[in-house]
A and B are shown apart, each in its own frame.
Chain A
Amino acid sequence: MENIILKKTGSSGTIAIESYIAQGGYKGMERAVGDMTPRDIIDEIKSSGLRGRGGAGFPTGMKWQFASLDPKFPRYLVCNADEGEPGTFKDRPILEHNPHLLIEGMIISAYALQSSIGYIYLRGEYPHAKRVLETAIEEALARGYLGNDILSKHFRFNLTVHFGAGAYICGEETALIESLEGRRGQPRLKPPFPVNSGLWGKPTIVNNVETLANIPWIVSNGAKAYASIGVKECPGPKLFSVSGKVNKPGVYELPMGITLREIIYDHCGGIKGGRPLKGVIPGGISTPILSPESLDCPMDFVHLPKHGSMLGSGAVMVFDDTVCIVKVYERAMRFFEHESCGKCTPCREGTAWMRAILSRIEQGKCSENDLETLQDVAENIAGKTFCPLGDGAANVLLAAMKIYRDEFEYHIKNKRCKVNAA
């Protein structure tokens, strides 16, 4: 498969606007703004079947259409570049090495949505990306690709990089909007949805970096070509960020629907030291872990739920038999506890409670019925929280406790780790 998103990265470089243009960059934007109506673009994106790459997998064209039907102005376009899900680093190569691909995608999107103001909400942990993006925006401005009269077509779009400050919850779109407005990033009740009432009460479209990076190619090559990549219900390429015990961790652009087995063994060179595979988290730490039996499951929004997990951000974390699952989930729960925004009680208190029990188990200070308590607490949090953070925390733990039950029991019975004992 020809690379669409990572194609232009690499040693020749696409950071500078000249080299991006030399490799065919900004052609999609010229075509869109020059020859197409906003309606044409929305229709094209709709028929491409593109689904949001941030985690939820909502059809992008449909989201755009909802926003475009709302008569309120201004409309805001926000790029969600707050990839804070542990295991995820897929957007980073775009942000640091191919900033113009994102900017081009945003200009086309802004034109389609008739939006004149855009923000890139960039996670605070990417200071280098901030420098790269700001330089790229200046370059685009100087060429007349951004600003008040783009390509002399009376189309206005200005873009600002907004630097996040280290809060995972701001990856959730309504929390991100609160944060952009200068408040604590706590999720808002939906409806109303941001497409109708987002930033400062105006229609706001929040799209992930990777989603926006697909737009120029779709506009240049057509929806039909795009829909022929990947699987029917989830077309297109997908970025997978692979970490953990594989020989070649990194970011891979592969067709949607590829199996975990192909990712791990064909592309990432298999498990380090040829050790046995113990488990895989397929889409970042808030997606349930899978046992090696699920290796042949296609990686997309439709098939993974059938195996009890989710595609999430496509962050594949691979564990071999040297990894203690109890320790992994104790650390994961520490994360959820830290990142709980505090708005609702089941999550705020529950994540701390689950973490405390897991710490006890991990340190061998547990009592016989701790596992039962843990199960009980998790079951009482799942499905009862305001946003997906608390729910996810409980569900990933329940999945791990189901698949690796013996490891939890060993810890409790022997007050030490099964992995280290082996």
Chain B
Amino acid sequence: MTRHHALKDNEDTTPQVTEEKLRLLRNKIHYLMGLYPSYQGALLPSLYAAQEIFGYISPEAIGEVSNITGVSAAQIKGVACFYAMYKTKPMGRHIIQLCTNVACMIEGAEDLVAYLGEKYGLTPGGTTQDGRFSLVIMECIGACGTAPSMILDSDSYDNLTKDRLDTLLESYK
């Protein structure tokens, strides 16, 4: 399950670890722990929180989550790499999650992947040179009736064409 996380290490896109960010994460985890009868129950949402704050699940974040929840760092890493939506390496500023599963495929999703490669130098699992976009290939995003479709950061877009893709990407600086 790890291959979608591959990314060229890019110094510029590595977010800084600050005391402020760590404090934010701590507060969030403490809140989340109240929603589950066991501390480990809060692990998945805590990892999302870490990803939101640091841009990816950084080693520092894993350490912090481990300290608070009592789940070992090794176990946390094991959990993080099991799920496709956790990013365990730094990513671009915007994440394009494009579906190529059957419904999207028969409506031309693979042409869109090729187009992103040609025009933006963006390959599956990769990030653009300027660190603006990363591309993740998705396994069905529940938009089969309006295929091909993608999630860009946390917005969904349907009925994609090359033109529409261009226009959309333009608005994500």
Contacts and interface: CB of A to CB of B under 8 A. Distances in A.
Interface of A: 74, 83-89, 92, 117, 123-128, 160, 162-168, 179-185, 200, 241-245, 249-251, 285, 315, 317, 319, 323, 327-328, 331-332, 335, 338-339, 341
Interface in B15-61: 35-38, 40-45, 47-48
Interface residues of B, number: 43
B128 to A, nearest CB: 22
Nearest to A268: B145
What are the 5 tightest A-B residue pairs by CB atom distance, in nearest-first order? Answer: A182-B43, A166-B84, A165-B83, A243-B144, A166-B85
B76 to A, nearest CB: 9
Contact of B140 (A84, A128, A180, A242): A84
B99 to A, nearest CB: 9
Contact of B41 (A87, A125, A180, A338): A180
A123 B100 contact: no
Contacts of B147: 243
Contacts of B112: none
Contacts of A200: 37-38
Given A124-B85, A160-B35, A182 B71 contact: yes
Interface stretch (B101-109, B114-122, B162-170): B101-109
Nearest to B146: A249
Given A86-B101, A89-B143, 8 more contacts: A84-B140, A85-B140, A86-B144, A92-B142, A127-B154, A184-B82, A185-B83, A251-B145
Contact of A339 (B37, B41, B48, B139): B139
A119 B145 CA distance: 28
A168 B139 contact: yes
B144 A89 contact: yes
B44 A182 contact: yes
A332 B140 CA distance: 11
Contacts of A315: 144
B142 A244 contact: no
Contact of A245 (B40, B69, B106, B156): B106
Contact of B144 (A160, A184, A317, A319): A317
Choose among A89, A127, A251 the residue with the greatest number of B CB atoms under 10 Å from its CB: A89
A327 B110 CA distance: 12
Contacts of B143: 89
A242 B145 contact: yes
A381 to B, nearest CB: 20
A137 B111 CA distance: 41
B48 A182 contact: no
B69 to A, nearest CB: 8
A125 B106 contact: no
Contacts of B139: 84, 86, 166, 168, 335, 338-339
B86 interface: yes
30 contacts: A87-B102, A87-B103, A89-B142, A126-B142, A128-B156, A163-B45, A165-B44, A165-B83, A166-B84, A166-B85, A166-B139, A167-B1, A167-B82, A167-B84, A168-B140, A181-B41, A182-B36, A183-B40, A184-B79, A184-B82, A200-B37, A243-B103, A285-B101, A317-B103, A331-B100, A332-B102, A335-B102, A338-B84, A338-B139, A341-B82
- Counting chain A CB atoms within 10 Å of each CB, the highest count among B41, B47, B100, B151 belongs to B41
Contact of B102 (A181, A251, A317): A317
A113 to B, nearest CB: 17
A90 B147 CA distance: 15
Interface centre among A179, A323, A331 (most CB of B within 10 A): A331
Nearest to B106: A323
Given A160-B35, A184-B78, A338-B1, A166 B140 contact: no
Contacts of A123: 142
B42 A88 contact: no
Interface in B123-166: 138-147, 151, 154-156
A241 B156 contact: no
Contact of A331 (B105, B144, B145): B105
Contact of B84 (A165, A184, A285): A165
B73 to A, nearest CB: 14
Contacts of B43: 182-183
A384 B47 CA distance: 34
A88 B145 CA distance: 9
Interface string B70-99: 010000001100111110000000000100
Nearest to B136: A166
A364 B157 CA distance: 34
B139 to A, nearest CB: 5
A339 B100 CA distance: 14
B85 to A, nearest CB: 4
A418 B166 CA distance: 33
A284 B58 CA distance: 36
Contact of A88 (B82, B83, B85, B142): B142
Nearest to A165: B83
A250 B145 contact: yes
Contact of B141 (A85, A125, A182): A125
A182 B145 contact: no
B101 A162 contact: no
**Of residues A128, A165, A328, which shows the largest number of chain B Cβ atoms within 10 Å of its Cβ?**
A165
